[in-house]
Chain A
Amino acid sequence: MYAALWQVLPGPWWVRLLIVLILLVAVLYGLFFYAFPWISEMVNPQEVTVE
């Protein structure tokens, strides 16, 4: 899967590496700012009961 992605990418190895790093940053940004907060809301919150 990841090997196939590497084959699809154009250019010499360092261009491919650059593309992979940019993709990685984009994926992490999407996860940290959108996906994970959304999942966090979905996870049934344990109500902090005091009474």
Chain B
Amino acid sequence: MAGVLGELLITAGVLTLLYVGWQLWIGDLIFGVQRNAVGQDLSEQWEQEYAAPSSTAPPTATPSESPSAEAASPPVEPVIMPEAADGETFAVMRIPRFGADYAWQIAGGVTRARTLDPIGIGHYPGTPMPGDVGNFAVAAHRTTWGAPFNRIAELHVNDAIVVETEEGWYTYRFRTLEYVTPSEVEVLLPVPQVEGAPAGSRYITLTSCSPMYSMTERIVAYGVFESFTPRTSAPPAALTEGVPA
């Protein structure tokens, strides 16, 4: 009888260690693969939705204007989507530095229960949507739940951060990292960290936890808006050119 009890206790111990190992490593691998696949499916779905109804109209409309203007690519005014509801996916984030298959969904809200745990990247309510003047601010886990922002500290200056929606691609360029305390909400201001400054430029702010496996600080990555590529065009060069070493 004591032997059985001992075996049960050992089993319980092994299960607990397995859970810890799953939470720290194996689960992130599984979630990561699953969630990136979901993001890629969504991206393909948008591509097909666009191609299906309007495949006849745009090719005849654009060449009539001027063929050379296409090559010069004048800046296209970005389409500003209405703010997404809590837990509603509206975009897919692509960061070539994190791999060509990196495709995490972005949804409204930053609660763990409704957005960060089950979906991935959350959009801070009240901050602008992608492409809009001001600061498009998002949050995601750096460890656990697939860890969308696991490699946030590996970003290089000028790395592309592309937010893909059904309207097109919003390309941002990474500028700098900052480490702050959790109470420093000024990182979400229209001009990050500048109180009272009027919104003028278009920024992106990625927030996550720091150090890894801890919540004592926040790591913040800032980027600036570069261009908007509508669905009528091919995906932006930022996605296809690869990343410099």
- Residues on A lying within 8 angstroms of B by beta carbon are 1-2, 28, 31-33, 36-37, 39-41, 45-51
- Chain A to chain B contacts (Cβ below 8 Å), 17 pairs: A1-B4, A32-B26, A32-B30, A36-B18, A36-B19, A36-B22, A36-B27, A39-B19, A40-B27, A47-B111, A48-B182, A48-B209, A48-B215, A50-B110, A50-B124, A50-B182, A50-B188
Given A31-B18, A36-B19, A39-B19, residue A1 in contact with residue B27 (CB < 8 A):
no
Beta-carbon contact of B22 and A1 below 8 Å:
no
- Which residues of B from 8 to 43 have beta carbons under 8 Å from A? 8, 15, 18-19, 22-23, 26-27, 30
Main secondary structure of the interface of A (DSSP, over half): helix
- Residues on B lying within 8 angstroms of A by beta carbon are 3-4, 7-8, 15, 18-19, 22-23, 26-27, 30, 110-113, 116-117, 124, 139, 145, 182-183, 185, 188, 207, 209, 215, 218
The answer, among A2, A32, A37, A48, for a CB contact under 8 Å with B110, is: A48
Residues in A neighbouring B8, C-beta threshold 8 A: 1
Distance between Cα atoms of A32 and B182 in the complex (Å):
32
Main secondary structure of the interface of B (DSSP, over half): helix
B36 → A minimal CB distance (Å)? 16
A31 → B minimal CB distance (Å)? 6
Beta-carbon contact of B117 and A36 below 8 Å:
no
